[in-house]
Amino acid sequence: MATAIVVGGGIGGTAVALGLIERGWSVRVLERATRYTEVGAGISLWPNALRALDVLGVGEAVRAQGLDDVSAGIRDERGRWLSRTDVATMRRRFGAPVMIHRAALLDILRAALPEGVVETGISVERADLDGTVVHSAGSGRDMSEVTADLVVGADGIRSVVRRAVCGEVAPRYAGYTVWRAVVGIAEPLTEFGETWGRGARFGMAPLPDGRIYCFAVYDAEEGVGGSFAEVRARFAGWHHPIPALLAAADPSTVLHNDIYELPALTTFTAGRLALLGDAAHAMTPNLGQGGCQALEDAVVLSRLAGTTDGLSRYDFERRPRTQMIARRSGAIGVVAQLSARPLVAVRDAALRMTPASAQFRSLGKVLDWVP
Interaction site with ligand FAD (CB under 6 A): 7-13, 30-33, 43-44, 123-124, 154-156, 160, 178, 180, 257, 277-279, 285, 288-292, 294
Minimum distance from residue 279 beta carbon to ligand FAD (Å): 6
Which residue's CB is nearer to ligand FAD, number 82 or number 161? 161
Residues 6+ apart with CB under 8 A from 16: 6, 152, 154, 276, 297, 298, 301, 302
Which residue's CB is nearer to ligand FAD, number 178 or number 351? 178
Which residue's CB is nearer to ligand FAD, number 12 or number 59? 12
Minimum distance from residue 322 beta carbon to ligand FAD (Å): 10
Which residue's CB is nearer to ligand FAD, number 338 or number 367? 367
- Name the residue with the smallest CB distance to ligand FAD: 277
* CB contact at 8 A, 47 and 367: yes
* Helical (H) or strand (E) element with 48: helix 47-55
Minimum distance from residue 292 beta carbon to ligand FAD (Å): 4
Query: 3-class DSSP state for residue 348?
Result: helix
Which residue's CB is nearer to ligand FAD, number 65 or number 348? 65
Residues 6+ apart with CB under 8 A from 108: 58, 61, 62
Which residue's CB is nearer to ligand FAD, number 110 or number 239? 110
Residue 133 phi, psi dihedral angles, 5° rounding: -125, 125
* CB contact at 8 A, 112 and 58: yes
In the chain, the amino acid numbered 268 is: F
Which residue's CB is nearer to ligand FAD, number 179 or number 238? 179
The neighbouring-strand residues paired with 58 are none
Minimum distance from residue 349 beta carbon to ligand FAD (Å): 27
Minimum distance from residue 210 beta carbon to ligand FAD (Å): 19
DSSP track, 231-285:
HHHHTTTSPTTHHHHHHHS-GGG-EEEEEEEPPPPS-SEETTEEE-THHHH---G
Minimum distance from residue 80 beta carbon to ligand FAD (Å): 25
Q: How far apart are CA 222 and CA 244, in angstroms?
A: 28
Minimum distance from residue 342 beta carbon to ligand FAD (Å): 29
